[in-house]
Amino acid sequence: MTAIDRSRLQPLSAREKARFVAEHPKSKSLFERAQKSLLGGVPMNWMSKWPGAFPVFVESAQGAHFTDVDGHDYVDLCLGDTGAMTGHSPRPLVEAAEQQLRRGITLMLPTENAVWLGEELVRRFGLRYWQFALTATDANRFSIRLARMVTKRQRILVFNYCYHGTVDESFITLKDGVPVARRGNLGPPVDPAVTTRVVEFNDVDALERELGHGDVACVLMEPALTNVGIVHPNPGFHQALRDITRRHGTLLIADETHTICTGPGGYTQAHQLEPDFFVLGKPIASGIPAAVYGFTEEVGDRVRAQIRTEDCDTGGIGGTLAANAFSLAAMRVTLECVLTEQAYARMIPLAERFVAGVEDTIKKADVPWHVTRLGCRAEYLFTSKRPANGSEAAAAADFELEQFMHLYALNRGVLLTPFHNMALMSPATTPTDVDRHTEVFREAVRELQGN
Ligand SMILES: Cc1ncc(COP(=O)(O)O)c(C=O)c1O
């Protein structure tokens, strides 16, 4: 296999950076203005990660496209890092949201939509009881709290290089086999090794060993890792994970915030998993802040038996705006009309098309990369070997090359997520959109090879 010519990367990157600045004068000027009031010129720190000297400022978005303030149109394969997996502002959502805006936004009282949603969530995902939150982070945090309360154990276990939102306990990695705070972890409340055990994904022996301590309330997992590239479970891994957790009295949380790309019932339904908790946020209300967490009858009954009504508002779960009427309406219409079986039947073949296009270039150019897929999500990695765990996936990261590939695509009207090389298909994405990426990807590799 031919490694790409690194000596070409630096001048090509410089050329792309200059092109980006020249073609985005209005974004540049907004970014300069933002320096006076926003830290780093961005409203949320992750936005500093976009390739190029500044992020593009958005004028409007619809379906799988958006337009920036300089008038460029983009195919959006980032889709708000899954928040807009529904496509931007799908019509049924806009209609339902407009109606609900006129009928009240938040009351701290339930609406009928809450009941409809509870019934639909039971039908889709199989768990018995449901509660609502505003972000997947919160839904994870609340699930962890409940797992601790039910098991009377302090610790949790996560997989190396996981991401589950800004959950303090999850910012831990293995360094030479020793658990340490993850690089970049800002102001951790305590050393995460105090709260968390961490093992490699797919490592059954390590799971057995760590859960054997008898102090782990729950395993918090993505059924396939999606936040360090896609890492699939080995055959039999989920069965082993479930057997081991049950044997050690540890509860299992499936965070399906990203793996909902697998199908309408998530990875859980597609692979008949049996988690004790199920978490879903981001696209569940088409990007309007909303999240859900569900749990089994056994967990629910144990929780209810332990919560006193008098203390239920200060127990560390819930929130004033959680389950507000607006986000309930948005979730209902999203599940009823947007993230449907028919939508997935369109989205998944598009991701297959993406994979086929990228794979063709990888093979023809003979670069040591590969492309992988989970439902309607696809991702290319800078290694020919499919990673078996988070460490192997992280070792394949190449930030300089990644930034170049992203900027090259951005300058040609295609937006990838700013984290690794992830692309997501929405119900509004078209084959032409996918082919646009394929073409741009082929050109980037061709230039890198100097052909
Ligand atoms: C698997 C997973 N869980 C939870 C979250 C957190 O979502 P949010 O930032 O909306 O709270 C993310 C965000 O990327 C995620 O990928």
Which ligand 1 atom lies nearest to the CA of residue 81? 14
Average pLDDT for residues 313-325, to the nearest whole number? 96
Any atom of ligand 1 within 6 Å of the Cβ of 256: no
Q: Mean of the per-residue pLDDT values for the chain?
A: 97
| CA atoms of 418 and 245, how far apart (whole Å) | 34
Which ligand 1 atom lies nearest to the CA of residue 289? 10
| pLDDT of 88 | 98
| CA atoms of 13 and 401, how far apart (whole Å) | 9
Average pLDDT for residues 302-322, to the nearest whole number? 93
Any atom of ligand 1 within 6 Å of the Cβ of 258: yes
Rounded to the nearest whole angstrom, what is the distance from the C-alpha of residue 253 to the centroid of ligand 1? 14
Task: Look at residue 58 and tell me whether its pLDDT is greater than 80.
Answer: yes
| pLDDT of 6 | 87
Average pLDDT for residues 158-169, to the nearest whole number? 98
Average pLDDT for residues 351-373, to the nearest whole number? 97
The residue to mutate among 257, 262, 280, having the most atoms of ligand 1 within 8 angstroms of its beta carbon, is 257
Q: pLDDT grade, residue 98 (50/70/90)? A: very high
| pLDDT of 415 | 98
Chain centroid offset of residue 187 CA: 23
Any atom of ligand 1 within 6 Å of the Cβ of 227: yes
What percent of the chain shows pLDDT beyond 70? 100
Rounded to the nearest whole angstrom, what is the distance from the C-alpha of residue 2 to the centroid of ligand 1? 36
| CA atoms of 39 and 131, how far apart (whole Å) | 34
196-250 pLDDT, tens digit per residue, is 999 999 999 999 999 999 999 999 999 999 999 999 999 999 999 999 999 999 9
Which protein residue's CA is at the shortest distance from atom 13 of ligand 1? Answer: 165
Task: Look at residue 124 and tell me whether its pLDDT is greater than 80.
Answer: yes
Any atom of ligand 1 within 6 Å of the Cβ of 133: no
Any atom of ligand 1 within 6 Å of the Cβ of 228: no
| CA atoms of 31 and 107, how far apart (whole Å) | 37
Which ligand 1 atom lies nearest to the CA of residue 136? 11
Q: pLDDT grade, residue 5 (50/70/90)? A: confident
Rounded to the nearest whole angstrom, what is the distance from the C-alpha of residue 300 to the centroid of ligand 1? 24
Any atom of ligand 1 within 6 Å of the Cβ of 255: yes
Q: pLDDT grade, residue 3 (50/70/90)? A: confident
363-406 pLDDT, tens digit per residue, is 999 999 999 999 999 999 999 999 999 999 999 999 999 999 99
Which protein residue's CA is at the shortest distance from atom 14 of ligand 1? Answer: 165
Any atom of ligand 1 within 6 Å of the Cβ of 354: no
Which protein residue's CA is at the shortest distance from atom 5 of ligand 1? Answer: 165
Q: pLDDT grade, residue 451 (50/70/90)? A: confident
Task: Look at residue 410 and tell me whether its pLDDT is greater than 80.
Answer: yes
| pLDDT of 394 | 96
Rounded to the nearest whole angstrom, what is the distance from the C-alpha of residue 365 to the centroid of ligand 1? 35
Which protein residue's CA is at the shortest distance from atom 2 of ligand 1? Answer: 164
| pLDDT of 2 | 74
62-78 pLDDT, tens digit per residue, is 999 999 999 999 999 99
